[in-house]
Amino acid sequence: MTAQNDLLPLAAASAGTWQLGDRTVNRLGFGAMRLTGMPWDPKPRDRDAAIAVLRRAVELGVNHIDTAAFYFNGVRSSNELIATALQPYDRDIVLTTKVGPARSREGEFEPYARPEQLRAQVEENIRQLGVERVDVVNLRWGSSLGKEEGTLADHIGALAELRDDGLLGAIGVSNVSGVQLIEALGVAPIVCVQNRYSLTERADDEVLALTRERGIAFVPFFAMGAAVPGALPGGAHDETGASEVDAVAAAHGATSAQIRLAWTLHRGPNVLAIPGTGDLQHLEQNIAAGAIRLTDDELATLDAIARQG
């Protein structure tokens, strides 16, 4: 990064805050999926490095950490790393997890959880994280991580019962359409929607608009990615708009990834970013991106990128 970028405030609070259920979080959070290394990596990431990243994230003001029991690779588990690095948890930290999908010890996805199986999944996250309850539990819908059995409403109803039993604080949904979000809202309050969304993947603009209208947090995953729609992160990349992004990045002394992240945060006050990394330098670059303020002209240039294809 250039000297100009080094002058940006290095604090998660620079991106502002949002209410996630009954908790206030900084809009710039942390996604734990990459802590262990991705499934295609030849070996798990270094354990000490992952713990250092988590502790540094909290030092920089990150208080929204997204994880899942099925985030593991070899002998590394994101939940265990979080518990090791951060216990005893600061009272401001909000932990969110996902249920529905499950993986075998060999890493293969197993049949999707039925509504009555969600309790065991929530309890598994509670044990691994070392907490009495999980602050937010997202139902990760969609067949890409296992074929669902039963309706979304049935699953949300089961999570509502677990909330009433004190196992979780609030309910979110992930990988849903606008129609499915409305279905979920008919069963219980929904505090966040976690969908794949980025500068070049905007199929969920209508879902984002719906969350903004309803005061629900919209939490993009792979927000900095430029991957071809449907491709795994780290796979083929869509170079659409690369020159425009690079030009905006140069004007801010930033990286193209930082501009993609900043653009995401500019999509609305209810947008929460959860970029993940196992690298300290990348973590600090992500945090610094929260302080980038894009001009109206820059936003117009970036907004036009998805319409080129």
User: Global pTM?
Assistant: 0.91
Residues marked as catalytic: 71
* 242 class by beta-carbon count within 10 Å (0-12 exposed, 13-18 middle, 19+ buried): middle
Give the residue-averaged pLDDT of 39-48. 75
Over 50: is that where the pLDDT of 276 sits? yes
Over 50: is that where the pLDDT of 3 sits? no
CATH for the stretch 17-239+264-279: 3.20.20.100
Mean pLDDT of the chain: 89
Sign of CA dihedral 139, 142, 148, 153: positive
Tokens representing residue 108 in the block: 């293969």
Cα dist from 180 to 25, 156, 172, whole Å = 25, 11, 12
Which residue reads 């949002």 in tokens?
18
Between 88 and 45, the higher pLDDT residue: 88
How many C-alpha atoms does 74 have within 13 Å on its Cβ side? 14
Over 90: is that where the pLDDT of 36 sits? no
Beta bridge partners, 217, equal 192
167-181: pLDDT as tens digits = 999 999 999 999 999
68-102: pLDDT as tens digits = 999 988 788 999 999 999 999 999 999 999 999 98
Tokens representing residue 169 in the block: 């604080």
Contact 233, 225 (CB under 8 A): yes
Give the residue-averaged pLDDT of 264-274. 97
Q: Of the candidates 132, 150, 174, 160, which has an alpha carbon nearest to the alpha carbon of residue 274?
A: 174
Share of the chain above pLDDT 70, in %: 87
| pLDDT of the residue at 255 | 94
- The alpha carbon of residue 105 and the mean position of all alpha carbons in its chain are separated, in whole angstroms, by 24
| pLDDT of the residue at 44 | 74
191-209: pLDDT as tens digits = 999 999 999 889 999 999 9
